[in-house]
């Protein structure tokens, strides 16, 4: 009689284990499809596999009891996941039109929330947060006393300062990079303003928020940078192999993640690329680039009594034409507060300017009749920074 009971218990245990094993096999079988999988489909399948393994571990990996012996054993203990899967999917770049539609509809119009906002009137739709140049009060610093900047602006003594002397050799070529995308460069602003604060001539404009010029792609990768202002330095601040050019224009852009310059400056300690700057170097030639010629011609109207003057509104490409070849390095603003959060793009081909035009511009920039007054910051040490070449 006792042997029959033992036999019944043994048979029940055997059936129980078989049923559990069958259920496990059915749940853990691979899901297949006749359709060819994409990378994203494969990722979904593997994620489901990992979920199944985790679920099986909870279900079958617990400590079980064998009733008739009172012993403990681990059932399917080998089902614990042994591999961690890490996927690096290639960046998906949509076609040009879809990028521009997304930028216009989402990134530029709603840079902070990427969501719908209340409808604005025509006057309210103009972006005023990008008009005022990001300069401290003029009395706080001077180009002739650059060594003292660090006392009031500690960042000016950092190790990633701009401008720099770009080396002729040792540049790192970036291969397979996308071209820069210049959006809204052909859109005329509502107005343009030229300002001379005694240190620089600065050009700014007023566009509707969804029409403000921006840069995307290339060294900027997936970030979008909105145009803020363009300043002139005479002679150039950046040098190439020790050679200083007669003129340099610097276009400043602010990341679309921020509402304006002030917010970007606040975020700069944790965001080394809150700003982007484009430097255009000018070399002597028998003609002058039309954009810079108009700026310098309008600058003649500036005087001690008039620190700013309206400029004929034209699209940004007229003053800062798009380009494909450029050098890139991580740097700072070239004026106080010298914030080290600027991605610098140096145009690969210099623009043209006549010697007579440069001499006329120099006479405009002389402050208080002092011909020795400086209007540029000296080149800063490159230190261990790398300079990348995109072409």
Q: Which residues in 256-302 belong to E strands, given as ranges?
A: 275-284
pTM of the model: 0.67
pLDDT of residue 200: 82
Structure tokens at 247: 């003129």
Digits of tens for pLDDT over the chain (391 positions)? 555 555 655 565 555 555 454 444 444 343 333 434 333 233 344 445 545 554 554 444 444 343 444 444 443 344 343 333 333 333 333 343 443 343 344 333 333 333 333 334 455 555 554 555 455 555 678 898 999 999 999 999 999 999 999 999 999 998 888 889 999 999 999 999 998 877 888 999 999 989 999 999 999 988 999 999 999 999 999 999 999 999 999 999 999 999 999 999 999 999 999 999 999 999 999 999 999 999 988 887 775 556 788 888 999 999 999 999 999 999 999 999 999 999 999 999 999 999 999 988 887 666 545 556 678 999 999 999 999 999 8
Q: Give 8-17's long-range contacts (Cβ < 8 A, gap of 24+).
A: 9/67, 9/68, 13/66, 13/67, 13/68
Residue 331 DSSP label: E
In whole angstroms, give the CA distance from residue 83 to residue 50.
Answer: 9
- Under a CB-based contact definition with an 8 Å cutoff, are residues 332 and 154 in contact? no
pLDDT of residue 175: 84
Element (DSSP H or E) covering residue 14 = helix 2-27
- Which class is 126-134+143-390 in CATH? alpha beta
Structure tokens at 177: 């990079």
Q: What are the domain boundaries of the chain?
A: 2-79, 126-134+143-390
The dihedral sign for the CA sequence 107, 113, 117, 122: negative
Q: Is the peptide bond before 337 cis (omega within 30 degrees of 0)?
A: yes
pLDDT of residue 127: 56
Sequence-distant (6+) residues with CB within 8 A of 361 are 232, 234, 247, 296, 299
């Amino acid at each position: 009689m006792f042997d029959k009971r033992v036999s019944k218990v043994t048979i029940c245990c055997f059936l129980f284990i078989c049923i559990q094993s069958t259920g496990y096999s059915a749940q853990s079988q691979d899901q297949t499809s006749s359709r060819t999988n994409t990378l994203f489909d494969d990722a979904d399948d593997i994620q489901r596999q990992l979920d199944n393994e985790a679920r099986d571990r909870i279900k079958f990996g617990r400590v079980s009891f064998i009733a008739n012996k009172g012993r403990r054993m681990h059932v399917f203990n080998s089902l614990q996941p042994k591999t961690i899967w890490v996927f690096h999917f290639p960046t998906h770049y949509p076609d040009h039109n879809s990028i521009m539609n997304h930028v216009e509809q989402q990134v530029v119009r709603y840079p902070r929330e990427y969501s719908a906002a209340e409808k604005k009137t025509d006057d309210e739709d103009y972006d005023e947060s990008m008009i005022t140049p990001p300069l401290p009060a003029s009395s706080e610093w001077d180009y002739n006393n650059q060594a003292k900047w660090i006392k009031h602006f500690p960042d000016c003594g950092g190790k990633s300062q701009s401008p720099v002397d770009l080396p002729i050799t040792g540049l790192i070529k970036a291969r397979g990079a996308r071209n820069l995308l210049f959006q809204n460069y052909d859109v005329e602003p509502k107005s343009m303003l030229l300002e001379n604060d005694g240190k620089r001539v600065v050009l700014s404009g007023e566009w509707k928020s969804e029409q403000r010029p921006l840069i995307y792609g290339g060294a900027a990768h997936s970030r979008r940078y909105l145009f803020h202002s363009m300043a002139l330095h005479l002679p150039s601040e950046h040098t190439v192999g020790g050679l200083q050019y007669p003129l340099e224009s610097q276009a400043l852009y602010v990341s679309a993640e921020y509402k304006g310059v002030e917010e970007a400056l606040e975020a700069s300690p944790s965001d080394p690329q809150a700003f982007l700057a484009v430097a255009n170097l000018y070399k002597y030639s028998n003609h002058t680039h039309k954009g810079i010629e108009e700026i310098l011609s309008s600058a003649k109207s500036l005087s001690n009594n008039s620190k700013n003057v309206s400029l004929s509104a034209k699209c940004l490409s007229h003053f800062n034409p798009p380009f494909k070849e450029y050098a890139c390095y991580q740097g700072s603003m070239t004026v106080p507060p010298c914030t080290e959060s600027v991605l610098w793009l140096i145009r690969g081909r210099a623009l043209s300017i006549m010697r007579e035009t440069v001499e006329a511009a120099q006479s405009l920039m002389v402050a208080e009749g002092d011909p020795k007054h400086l209007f540029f910051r000296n080149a800063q040490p490159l230190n261990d920074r790398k300079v990348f070449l995109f072409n």
